[in-house]
Amino acid sequence: MIKFIHRRDRLGYSCLGAAIVSALLMVQASAASTDRPRNAGVVELETEGTSNISVRIAEEMAEIVDDGATRRVLPVVGRGAVQNFSDLAQLHGIDMAILQTDVVDYLRQQHLLGAASSITYITKLYNEEFHLLARSDIQSVGDLAGQTVNIDRPGSGTAITATRIFDLLQIAPNLGNDTEQVALEKLKKGDIAAVAFVAGKPAPLFDGVDKSQGLHLLSIPLNTKITSAYLPAQITAADYPGLVAQSQPIDTIAVGAVLAVANLQPLSDRYRNVANFVETFFTGFQSLLAPGHHPKWRDVNLAADVPGWKRFPAADQWLKRNAAVAKTPEPDNLKQIFERFIDERLLAAGRRMSQDQKDDLFNQFQRWQSTQR
């Protein structure tokens, strides 16, 4: 059968064909006219879960780095510390990750470091505090022996740190692996004895939690085994007004967080993207200390070394070019660093110092410093 096409139809098909050809030519011309790959300037940064402050830290990094055209930070929520290490070592898209420093020790002890041994770091970020939230009938860490303590999913940063802490204290609780939010609800109902959580204070997980719910934070005994492996730290009423009484801080430990980088080839696009990120992030770092940003940025010293780690070459080069800027904190920040140093050393020795004593000691330090110039 012969089918006749009306002139009107012939014109329609002709116009459609012309449109298709035109579109194809435009796509080809566009592809030929640019040398920039579609992901030029993009770095993917993997974080811990949404209840961890690393997500907000990544977002605030993106705010100062992204320019809408040549630079962009793409935060990716990971599935825990061990998995994040694996992703950084093996996934092509993950360029950087925020990782706990004690996870490297864990992987090394378990002979699981493998390809992750080539991972470098840009800078040490902040310290993350170990929170141990318990029922009111649990008065000390020792009371947790034989009780159920949730330590998050296997392979998470919390699970690694909590297991190590309990081993160092020679306490054997029953360990649960619910997510933090599920575990917190179980704790409120009295179904479990405690929830362990590693996060920079104040942790969003504890928003709205207070003593009226029959919960409180436990202190961690700071013996020599603990302080040789972790930094002494304190949780205060300023961090959690509903959980901590004024002038009765909770002694605990902290673990460092680092901004780590995958093993990138120096001449690759990914390497150039990360190097470009470093230049912009380091140069704009001071803006992150302004009000409105997370208070943990005030803990960051860009030039601080991380024992056992190698620094990413572009970060090392920037610090050498800008040594004076990177290593000279503002007076207020210097005092905070000084006081934190004093607190950590006194905690390790089981002692405390009043604010007046700290102020007097800092003034002596400043007078001594002025004689060294």
Residues pairing with 47 in the sheet: 77
The answer as to CATH 3.40.190.10 being correct for domain 42-328 is yes
β strands within the chain, DSSP E: 42-47, 72-77, 96-100, 120-135, 148-150, 174-176, 194-199, 215-217, 231-235, 250-261
Q: Tell me the C-alpha distance between 39 and 260, whole Å.
A: 20
- Nearest residue to 259 (alpha-carbon basis) of 108, 68, 126, 72: 126
Domain definitions of the chain by residue range? 1-34, 42-328, 329-373
User: Can you give the pLDDT at residue 338?
Assistant: 66
Query: pLDDT per position in the chain (373 positions), as tens?
Result: 333 334 344 434 444 444 444 443 443 444 433 444 556 788 899 988 776 788 899 999 999 888 877 888 888 887 778 888 888 888 888 999 998 888 877 777 776 666 556 789 999 998 999 999 999 999 999 999 999 999 998 888 899 999 999 999 999 999 999 988 899 999 999 999 999 999 888 888 888 888 888 899 999 988 888 888 888 888 988 899 888 888 889 999 999 899 999 988 888 889 999 999 999 999 889 899 888 999 899 888 899 888 878 899 999 999 998 876 665 555 566 666 666 666 666 665 566 777 777 777 766 665 555 443 4
User: Can you give the pLDDT at residue 260?
Assistant: 93
User: Can you give the pLDDT at residue 140?
Assistant: 92
DSSP SS3 for 269: helix
User: Can you give the pLDDT at residue 4?
Assistant: 35
User: Can you give the pLDDT at residue 171?
Assistant: 93
Q: Tell me the C-alpha distance between 243 and 214, whole Å.
A: 10
User: Can you give the pLDDT at residue 358?
Assistant: 72
Q: Tell me the C-alpha distance between 170 and 225, whole Å.
A: 11
Tokens 């470098």 -> residue: 120
Tokens 């090392």 -> residue: 316
Helices (H), 34-116: 54-65, 81-90, 101-109
Q: Tell me the C-alpha distance between 75 and 39, whole Å.
A: 14
- Residue type for 178, please? D
Concatenated DSSP letters for 20-71? Answer: HHHHHHHHHHHHHH--S-TTTTEEEEEE--TTSTHHHHHHHHHHHH--SSS-
Q: Tell me the C-alpha distance between 335 and 341, whole Å.
A: 10
User: Can you give the pLDDT at residue 348?
Assistant: 56
Answer whether 239's CB lies under 8 Å from 128's CB.
no
User: Can you give the pLDDT at residue 188?
Assistant: 92
- Nearest residue to 94 (alpha-carbon basis) of 102, 103, 85: 85
pTM metric for this prediction: 0.72
User: Can you give the pLDDT at residue 71?
Assistant: 85
For the chain, the straight-line distance linking the first and the last C-alpha, in angstroms and rounded, comes to: 101
How far does Cα 297 stand from its chain's mean position?
11
Q: What is the largest CA-CA distance in the chain?
A: 105
